[in-house]
Structure 1
């Protein structure tokens, strides 16, 4: 339902109106807004971090996209950093430009892609042309100016564990201690082999890739963007799209110009660690978030199941020794 300013009837709508009124270019304008994409954690992970809105002037079509971060995400998302990364990516033609943001209001406004663009699904990433465009976009970002912060997925796991508390592993799963030890081995192996961090989207979700009718892609949601090992950035994308090594090999040929088993091993190991992080994160959100309608625990259990299955792969030890 489209609403004009002053018609808010819920806390979320009042927050949206306050943000819209705070945008200098919209001062005294006849602004309208309508709910955007509903947050869903399972079976797909989409729009979970924020309440979002399509914003228009008067009766014209919407041209802007407003995001207001949920309070339960404040420990995980630095809005200033996210907007800085998105702005850099937008200058490269990789994402819609951020137009305004307010960290105190946890709000950011972006250009809105044309209505003909759509959100990618996992099966879209299995299409060679879409996958090639997505990898090309990520490689372009890797070659740009470094961001202000560098991290690894292992840093993220430790942060989420600390937030969950002393019972983190027990809360995650009965075999959580074993998964955590194995991921510790992955971290040690990657540190020993070394890596060169690059600015990256650092987000593997299909829902954070937009597709045009001609197959062009844009990356959206730079909340996870940092300097990371590029193979982490690619590995989590491949983990979203593919189950088997044979399916991942052509993607790595696109990324590096040739297939290397060491690169596949690194991607696979990063994907395992990423699944553990999101399993811990989902468990934490199920514990602390007031949004009971979002299936955080179901999402966490799915990511932990995939982590567990990958760790039981007979090739796991061999991958650790071949990076």
Structure 2
């Protein structure tokens, strides 16, 4: 673990700048070491930010520092992230954010103890874990609104515009996928929904599980006011390959199973796959981080989007919304 003044790489210099920006730590002994590096495939984890473990006046780290990568700044509002995480921490859903270093594009959080591990998709298939995850997300849905509202369709348009501006080659059938998702947006808009504050993240890697089975949510970069069924839809899409497996979790969320809710969850999952496919294509073209498998991740998400749009029951799902 290095201390302030010992940085020898550009990443360490950025970490030092963020840590010295924390006024409460002036004059204290600060140590820092890199956390797990980001990967996009086979697990999407830690791609948006550089992550550091931080110790203050002690040998063991007690804080987690994240510094947004330059290629992600357009998509992350750190003030909104800090506010959303603060609200969720007040509900006991996530570790508390402690310091916002705006000029360093960084936030410092409390660090969960070493007995906590990153969830995997097979963890989410356990009923006890899924029930806890849903309970945490529902608690956030009942909190006061977040600063920002958002839909997956807004982000798709933003990413597709950025893709065009960057001259990124597109798959021959991208127009067809965009048309299919436009149908989804029209159907959901016509049916209506009430946006609620949400974690708005379906990745297993942004769920933490302790040795005794407790659960916490992390990473509020995507937190917005959204349709709660978007949040549940992308969670179920991460955890389960078949709709039959999704039904019990949806029943836990709503209290009883409703086919229209499952149909909406599945429709949102299609849009979310297209969104992340576009993101991966764009990052593969413009990101300086050549060690991240952005294109592989994009191809996987677009493949799943195609499969869902081609399903013979797709149009029926939209009519049932």
Task: Provide TM-score, normalisation by structure 2.
Answer: 0.98
Alignment-derived partner of residue 232 in structure 2: 234
Alignment-derived partner of residue 194 in structure 2: 196
Name the CA distance, whole Å, in 1 between partners of 2:304 and 2:51. 30
Count the aligned residue pairs: 321
Matched, 1:287 2:279: no
1:280 Cα deviation (Å)?
0.3
Name the CA distance, whole Å, in 2 between partners of 1:315 and 1:182. 13
Note if contact 1:172-1:280 (Cα within 8 Å) is conserved in structure 2. Answer: no
Note if contact 1:33-1:53 (Cα within 8 Å) is conserved in structure 2. Answer: yes
5 Å-filtered alignment, 1:57-68, equals 57-68=56-67
Deviations 1:89-117 (A, max 9, x none): 00000011110012221011000011101
Task: Provide TM-score, normalisation by structure 1.
Answer: 0.97
Deviations 1:214-250 (A, max 9, x none): 2111111101000000000000000000011100000
What SS is found at the alignment partner of 2:104? coil
Note if contact 2:39-2:45 (Cα within 8 Å) is conserved in structure 1. Answer: yes
In the TM superposition, structure 1's runs of 4+ consecutive aligned residues that sit over 3 Å from their partners are none
5 Å-filtered alignment, 1:166-185, equals 171-185=169-183
1:30 Cα deviation (Å)?
1.1
1:55 Cα deviation (Å)?
0.3
User: Which shows bigger deviation, 15-24 or 92-101?
Assistant: 15-24
Note if contact 1:172-1:279 (Cα within 8 Å) is conserved in structure 2. Answer: no
1:172 Cα deviation (Å)?
3.4
Matched, 1:42 2:35: no
Name the CA distance, whole Å, in 1 between partners of 2:121 and 2:52. 24
User: Which shows bigger deviation, 246-255 or 25-34?
Assistant: 25-34
Note if contact 1:249-1:264 (Cα within 8 Å) is conserved in structure 2. Answer: yes
Q: What is the aligned counterpart of 1:278 among 273, 276, 280? A: 276
What SS is found at the alignment partner of 1:93? coil
Matched, 1:186 2:146: no
5 Å-filtered alignment, 1:120-199, equals 120-165=119-164, 171-199=169-197
Name the CA distance, whole Å, in 2 between partners of 1:295 and 1:186. 29
1:47 Cα deviation (Å)?
0.3
1:59 Cα deviation (Å)?
4.5
Name the CA distance, whole Å, in 1 between partners of 2:36 and 2:172. 35
Gaps of 5+ in 2: none
- CA-atom RMSD, angstroms? 1.1
Note if contact 2:166-2:286 (Cα within 8 Å) is conserved in structure 1. Answer: no
Note if contact 2:63-2:111 (Cα within 8 Å) is conserved in structure 1. Answer: yes
Matched, 1:312 2:310: yes
1:151 Cα deviation (Å)?
1.4
Note if contact 2:20-2:26 (Cα within 8 Å) is conserved in structure 1. Answer: yes
Name the CA distance, whole Å, in 1 between partners of 2:166 and 2:62. 46
